[in-house]
Structure 1
Amino acid sequence: MFAEAPMGAAERAASRVAAVVASWWFSLALATAMVVWIAVNVVWRPFEPYPMIMVAGLAGGLGVISAFYGPLILLTQRRAAMRDRARDRETYLVAARTEDDLHALSAQVTRLARPLATEHADDDGRTDR
């Protein structure tokens, strides 16, 4: 049956990164880090006295993170598409073999039914046999 092709080193790494980045824990950690960053900058003002510059820096950081999301999503979708194509190919082969088996069974049933049909055709209602 279906056997998944082994992944290369780059695909394994991309899959691990995608698994981490696509988790709720990562989103929660990112949101927590943003809230802590804003709180530290608003309360203690260690970097900039104007919080809008800090928010622009956060927006830039989030832009970099989202720039990595695109290729990771494409890599995982490509891998899933390859897996789906292989599974579909296997399903097609199984269906084709099943259809061949059904045709063979149908031919055999037809071949076995012919003598019975000729026997019933010879028997035209007489009971003297």
Structure 2
Amino acid sequence: MMQLPRRTPEQLAEELLGRKFSELEQEEQNVLRRIAAGTLIGPDADEIAATHASRGDRLADRVASVGGSWGFIIAFGLVLIAWMLVNSHVLEAFGLHPFDGYPYIFLNLILSMLAAIQAPVIMMSQNRQADKDRIAARHDYEVNLRTQLEILRLHRRFDHLIEYLEARRASEAGEEY
């Protein structure tokens, strides 16, 4: 069977996209290089983001996942109720003076400090998630572009094969007469 010659990225750009290789965006050039070399698309977005994550990034992700969960909200609500009960009724029942009686000023201070620390950490995690989303979008774009280009290549190969078979059939038909 006849085999098509390997194409360079420059040839593929002209053939498949109808543009010069130098006019293409970096992602398009990378995809054409991979197609010409016959290599697969690299690791997925989560793997790429994980390799670039610092300890602080991973800690921010964990704090955000815990701080933004129903388990945290329920547990924290139970701690608040326990704090108020202990400082209102339980200690008074034993004749002790509550260490943070109503209006719970120390509890308000702790909650304010928690919010002051937790909010920037959650925002760091959200920024990291936005970076992951950008990496995923770029990766998806490359996968989609490569898929489209491979479909175009296959279409052209089939066209070439059909032309070859038709020419062969015509030459065989001409030999019969």
The within-5 A match list for 1:48-127 is: 51-52=102-103, 54=104, 56-114=105-163, 116=166
Fraction of identical pairs, as percent: 29
- Name the aligned partner's letter for residue 14 of structure 1: A
For residues 99 and 84 of structure 1, the distance between their equivalents in structure 2, rounded to whole angstroms, comes to 22
1:42 matches 2:88: yes
Deviation at 1:63, TM superposition (A): 2.1
TM-score by length of 2: 0.55
Structure 2, unmatched stretches of 5+, are: 1-42
Higher relative contact order (CA 8 A, sep 6+): 1
Give the corresponding residue for 2:78. Answer: 32
Aligned positions, number: 120
- Alignment RMSD (CA, Å): 2.8
TM-score by length of 1: 0.71
Deviation at 1:47, TM superposition (A): 3.1
Structure index of larger Rg? 1
- Name the aligned partner's letter for residue 91 of structure 1: D
Give the corresponding residue for 1:4. Answer: 48
Structure 1, unmatched stretches of 5+, are: none
For residues 110 and 104 of structure 1, the distance between their equivalents in structure 2, rounded to whole angstroms, comes to 10
